[in-house]
Chain A
Amino acid sequence: MLAWWRTIRLSIKELMLHPLRSSLTVLGIFIGVSSVIWLLAIGEGIGRKAEEQIVDLGARNIILNTVKPSGDQAGEGLYGVTREDFRRLKNTLEGHLERTVPIRALSKEFGRGPRTMEGRLVGTTAGFLEVMRMDVEEGGRFFAPIDSIEERPYCVLGPEARNELVPYGDPIGATVRIGDEFYEVIGVMKQKKSHSSDEKIKTDDYSKDIYIPIETFWRRIGDVIITTGSGLFKRDIVEVSQIVLEVQEQDQVLEMAQVVQDTLAAEHTMPDYTMTVPFELLEQARTTRLLFIVFLGMIAAISLVVGGIGIMNIMLATVTERTREIGIRRALGAKRHDITRQFLIESIVLSTIGGLLGIAAGLTCPLLASPVRRTLFYLFPSQMAALPEEIRNVEPMLVTWSIPLSLAIAVAVGVLFGVYPAMKAAQLDPIEALRHE
């Protein structure tokens, strides 16, 4: 034990004799290790963010959205997901679904006394809160199934709608005008925090919404939307804007999505709806992250191999340079494996120091991320702007296992690239080594 310790101290001493040479040798490993940690942290940051956004949408959900068919395909009248679709899906997937939530949304004018505002009127059912991961403020409530069945004129306000329409006092029980009709407020939504920033999966801004039971919506508002403008008259008929199906088991989501696809395809000849499966995106995000890790791993591996070759190069030079020393040590009783050990430890010490410095640099990653980003923005504004949003604004997250991993890799590089020079040193003939000038 003492002998090992002595050998390690000795090799540090040897390396200190050539500080510049040793530090340049260490540089390769340093860069390799710190890039492993940085790049893994960046990959993790990107992946986590994407996953959070997707989980926001619900990993067990299948979301159907009505879209208006484009151009000449657009006939007069009804398009999109229908009440019939909703009923059929519910029957077909019976037993596999946790919830089915239909949503019908429309821009409307809201008012209360002299106050008015533009917002979105949303007709939905009790399950809405769960699938959207939203909640109502204390004191109020969301719809009960009975409210929908009885088509009651109840409404729930989004936080912004509440601020505009009922700025003072208790909103519960207040009467709000929607279009030409009056509704009683039974609850107020809590502000929803959103992780989203990606266009594709952006969760909507719900704060100006007013929610009413969907049966009430169908009865009182109806399906027909008439848009008029200068020389423009449009008549759209939409029954359901969105259906959220929450599958019971996550591993059935993809299978169920296929069933949904098949069920709807039979009825819809026009492309008048889209299906979003967040779980698919989740899978995609995972695959992307995995690819990222593999890709980064390759970069890191290359830089570590280059670092290793640097170490080997220096160690070979060292062995030649210290041939006399090897002879002396052999004359003083060193066996071949003592010499091997000495030089191997020296290369491991080199690579480990590089590794430790690399880890230290890697740990600064979360701290340095935003200054680095700002500098890059300052230096290359247009290039940075062209980057995808999630890469531009990534918050790197240190991956704990990357630290022991990269240290282990550094040590392994030291061993791998130190073995050959060390064996060469040990193979020298003692007398010839002693004679060496």
Chain B
Amino acid sequence: MFTSRPATGSLAASIHNLHKQYVLGGETVHALRDVSFDVPRGDYISIMGPSGSGKSTLLNLLGCLDTPTSGNFFLGDLDVAAIDDDHRAEVRSTLIGFVFQSFYLLPALTVVENIEVPLLYSGRLDREARQRAIHLAEQVGLGSRLGHRPTQLSGGQQQRVAIARSLVNDPRFLLADEPTGNLDSQTTTEILELLDNLNKEGRTILLVTHEPEVAEHTKRKIVLRDGRVQIDERMRPC
């Protein structure tokens, strides 16, 4: 088993021999097999592959929502594969921002309140929190919708709220699972512009997508097939 410290330095994350298996009714599903790659700081990676190839599984592991069956995964110096549930929650709230295909906003809360939610868990819900949430809402172009509820917003607007929310704790990583999967092409372009800008500001982004046009925006493309890395291709320098 690989446990020695990886060469960190310019790496934001490094993944070594990651395996993930599910046992379903006596049958073992290999969702990920021996996945290894490094993520330099400021990289912008699209993860592609057919349905069921393990994209979401990989993203969930990288986002510390799940634990691998075997293998190691370092976020900076921290071996995330070995930490407990509370610690993983802490990593999620300080290092990682999530964006999902179905937005996953909380329907009872307004736009600002949704953006504030991660602050509640990172312990940063202080007097400036509201200002910070409003500022982010303005950045994603929702300055005039602060008091609206998710159901009163379009899909694109909801995804902007989700992006603002993922940024509120100033995470190093942005993980997006098909963020444009539910959006039309016009809105997709707007959301991608937003992500492009975030990457330009230095944030490391991994996004899962089915659409080649979306992948075109990124700097590097990783294609999975049957849980293995089939292609790992860099289109632009990091």
Query: Does the CB pair B120–A3 fall under 8 Å?
Result: yes
B227 within 8 A of A: no
Question: Does A14 touch B at the CB level, under 8 Å?
Answer: yes
What is the distance, in angstroms, from A276's C-beta to the closest C-beta of chain B?
A: 68
Q: Is the Cβ of B106 less than 8 Å from the Cβ of A328?
A: yes
Contact assessment for A7 and B85 in the assembled complex, using a CB-CB cutoff below 8 Å: no
Contact yes or no, A336 B125, CB < 8 A: no
Type the 1/0 row for B93-106, where 1 means its CB is closer than 8 Å to any CB of A.
11000101000111
Chain B, interface size category, equals 20 to 34
A10–B106 CA distance with the chains assembled, in angstroms: 11
Alpha-carbon distance A333/B123, docked complex (angstroms): 10
Closest-by-CB residue of A relative to B60 is: A431
A/B pair count, beta carbons within 8 Å: 73
How many Å from the CB of A28 to the closest CB on chain B?
24
The B-contacting residues of A in range 1-22, CB under 8 angstroms, are 2-3, 6-7, 10, 13-14, 17
Contact between chains at B104 and A333 (CB < 8 Å): no
Q: Which residue of B lies closest to A17 (CB)?
A: B108
Given contact pairs A17-B108, A324-B104, A332 touches B93 in the complex (Cβ within 8 A): yes
A332 and B118 contact, Cβ closer than 8 Å, known pairs A2-B125, A430-B65: yes
Contact of A332 among B66, B90, B108, B165 (CB under 8 A): B165
In angstroms, Cα B104 to Cα A337, docked, is 21
A329 touches B108 (CB 8 A): no
A334 touches which of B94, B98, B104, B121 (Cβ 8 Å)? B121
With known contacts A14-B108, A325-B106, A328-B104, A333–B121 Cβ distance under 8 A: yes
Say if the beta carbon of A331 comes within 8 Å of chain B.
Answer: yes
A307-347 CB contacts (< 8 Å) to partner B: 324-325, 327-338
Interface string of A402-437 (1 = CB under 8 A from B): 000000000000000000000000000011001000
Q: Which residues of B contact A13 (CB under 8 A)?
A: 108-109
A335 touches B65 (CB 8 A): no
Contact yes or no, B85 A336, CB < 8 A: yes
Q: Which residue of A lies closest to B122 (CB)?
A: A333
Contacts of B120 in A (CB 8 A): 3, 6-7, 334, 338
Contacts of A3 in B (CB 8 A): 120, 123, 125
Residues of A within 8 A of B63 (CB): 331
Binding site of A, secondary structure by majority: helix, strand, loop or mixed?
helix
User: Is B203 part of the binding interface, using a Cβ–Cβ cutoff of 8 Å?
Assistant: no
How many residues of chain A are within 8 Å of chain B by beta carbon? 25
Residues of B within 8 A of A328 (CB): 104-106
A6 to B109, CA, bound (A): 12
Contacts of B98 in A (CB 8 A): 331-332
- Distance in angstroms between the alpha carbons of A363 and B85 in the assembled complex: 48
CB distance from A430 to the nearest CB of B (A): 5
Which residues of chain A are near B127, meaning CB under 8 Å? Answer: 2
User: B125: which A residues are within 8 A, CB to CB?
Assistant: 2-3, 6
The docked-state distance in angstroms from the alpha carbon of A336 to that of B121 is 11
Residues in B with CB closer than 8 Å to A337 are 86
Residues B90 and A335 in contact, CB atoms below 8 Å apart: yes
Given A330-B65, A331-B104, A431-B60, do A336 and B86 touch, yes or no (CB 8 Å)? yes
The smallest C-beta distance from B227 to any residue of chain A, in angstroms, reads: 17
A334 to B109, CA, bound (A): 17
Residue pair A333, B93 in contact (C-beta under 8 Å): yes
B89 interface hit (Cβ, 8 Å): yes
Within 8 A of B (CB), among A212-264: none
Q: How far is the CB of B105 from chain A (nearest CB, A)?
A: 8
B14 at the interface (CB under 8 A from A): no
Contact B126 A334 (CB under 8 A): no
Check A333–B90 contact: CB distance below 8 A.
yes
A431 CA to B58 CA, complexed, in Å: 12
Distance in Å: Cβ of B214 to nearest Cβ of chain A = 22
Q: Once the chains bind, are A332 and B65 in contact (CB under 8 Å)?
A: no
Residue pair A331, B92 in contact (C-beta under 8 Å)? yes
Q: A3-B123, A328-B106, A431-B60 known; A333 and B169 CB under 8 Å?
A: yes
CA–CA, A324 to B102, complex, Å? 11
Shortest CB-to-CB span from B116 to chain A, Å, is 8
B183 within 8 A of A: no
Q: Mark B25-57, 1 if CB is under 8 A from A, else 0.
A: 000000000000000000000000000000000
Residues B126 and A329 in contact, CB atoms below 8 Å apart: no
Q: Which residues of chain A come closer than 8 Å to B90, judged between CB atoms?
A: 333, 335
Please give me the residue from chain B that is nearest to A342 by CB atom.
B120
Whole-angstrom distance from the CB of A433 to the nearest CB of chain B?
10
Closest 9 CB pairs of A and B: A333-B93, A333-B121, A335-B89, A332-B118, A333-B92, A328-B104, A334-B121, A335-B86, A430-B65
Binding site for A on B (CB under 8 A): 60, 63, 65-66, 85-86, 89-90, 92-94, 98, 100, 104-106, 108-109, 117-118, 120-123, 125-127, 165, 169
Can you offer 7 A-B residue contacts whose CB atoms are under 8 A?
A2-B125, A10-B109, A330-B92, A332-B98, A333-B122, A334-B93, A336-B86
